[in-house]
Structure 1
Amino acid sequence: MLRSYLRLVLFAIGLLVGVQVPGVINDYSQRVEAHRLEAQQSLRGFSETAQRFFNGDLQALVAHYRASEDPVFRSDAASIGALLARNQLLEREWLALQGPWYAKAWHVVAKADPQLRQETLNGYSYQVLLAPEAIAWGIACALLLAWVVECIVLFIGWTLWFGRRRAKPVAEPLVRRER
């Protein structure tokens, strides 16, 4: 009976963890989008200058600033270069999050920008979404966690001889000996 309750508790924990996955992915996507829009806004003035003088090529603008003899322009070249690199990173992140659900999940787990992922996790508040996607994640995680733990426990029990059945000796019929 205790084993059944432990299975239920394990299943419930897996369910609660699983329903968090879509929330984390959604929060990460929103964070990337907000940072991307902010980076584009920061580059807007430089983009207009690049459009007027360099056919929209921001790299050419940065190269022009770097080649300038004015130390202020050379300093600005480093700043603009950093803004441009940040914008490109956020654009790649945003594009990676435009795919199907499994691609988004894999990206957030394995390929996401570590700083953005940590920022998302630090600001994440636990929530129970009742969207079909969250329910599917919850059930899948619950079943997977319950199955993995059950397999581990059974394997440990089997290796320690708890789960193996021992052959019972066959009882010999009692035969009366006559004297």
Structure 2
Amino acid sequence: MLRSYLRLILFTLGLLVGVQVPGFIEDYAKRVDAHRLEAEQGLKGFRDTAQRFFKGDLDALVAHYRASSDPVMRSDAESVAQLVARDSLLQREWQALQGPWYQSAWHVLISANPELRKETLAAYSYQLLLVPEAIAWGLGVGLLLAWLVESQLLLLGWAFSGGGSRKAQERHWH
């Protein structure tokens, strides 16, 4: 009976963790989009200048600033280059989140920008979304966690009992 309650607790814990996944991915995507829009706004004037003099090529604008004999222009070249690099990073992040749900989830889990992921986690407030994706994530993580922990415990029990008798093995599976 205790084992059944432990299974339920593990399943419930997994369910509660799993339903957080879609909300976290959505919060991450909103954060990326907000930063992306901010970066675009910061580059607006430089984009206009690059459009007028360099056919829209921001890298050519930065190269021009770097090659200038004016020390102020050379100094600003690094600032503009950082803005361009930040905009490029945020555009790539945003594009990676535009695919199917499993691609977005994999991206946030494995290759998301660490700074943005940390920022999102720090500001994340736990929520209980009752949308199909959250329910599916919750059930999946709950079942997986319960199955993994119970399998590990059964393997440990089997290893410490030296393989155990057939009767003991049947008892564990019922």
TM-score (norm 2): 0.93
Q: Based on CA coordinates, which of the two structures has the bigger radius of gyration?
A: 1
> In the alignment, which residue of structure 2 is the partner of 1:109?
109
* Secondary structure at 1:34 match in 2: helix
Read off the aligned partner of 2:136 and give its amino acid letter. A
* Secondary structure at 1:158 match in 2: helix
CA deviation vs aligned residue, 1:81-126 (integer Å, no higher than 9, x gap): 0000000000000000001111101100100000000001011000
- Runs of 4+ in structure 1 deviating by more than 3 angstroms, as ranges, are none
Alignment partners' CA distance in 1, 2:62 and 2:7: 61
Alignment partners' CA distance in 2, 1:82 and 1:128: 38
Q: CA deviation at 1:162?
A: 7.8
* Secondary structure at 2:129 match in 1: coil
Give yes or no for contact 1:154–1:163 (8 Å, CA) kept in 2: no
Read off the aligned partner of 2:92 and give its amino acid letter. R
Q: CA deviation at 1:165?
A: 1.8
Alignment partners' CA distance in 1, 2:113 and 2:166: 54
Spell out the pairing of 1:28-107 with structure 2 (5 A cutoff).
28-107=28-107
Q: CA deviation at 1:138?
A: 0.1
Matched, 1:157 2:130: no
> In the alignment, which residue of structure 2 is the partner of 1:170?
none
Alignment partners' CA distance in 1, 2:113 and 2:63: 27
Alignment partners' CA distance in 2, 1:107 and 1:49: 34
Read off the aligned partner of 2:52 and give its amino acid letter. R
Read off the aligned partner of 1:106 and give its amino acid letter. W
Alignment partners' CA distance in 2, 1:52 and 1:143: 59
In structure 2, list runs of 5 or more residues that go unmatched. 168-174
Q: CA deviation at 1:166?
A: 6.3
Alignment partners' CA distance in 2, 1:101 and 1:83: 30
Alignment partners' CA distance in 2, 1:144 and 1:89: 34
Identity %: 67
Alignment partners' CA distance in 2, 1:162 and 1:25: 45
Alignment partners' CA distance in 2, 1:119 and 1:8: 33
In structure 1, list runs of 5 or more residues that go unmatched. 168-179
Alignment partners' CA distance in 2, 1:130 and 1:72: 55
Higher helix fraction (1 or 2):
2
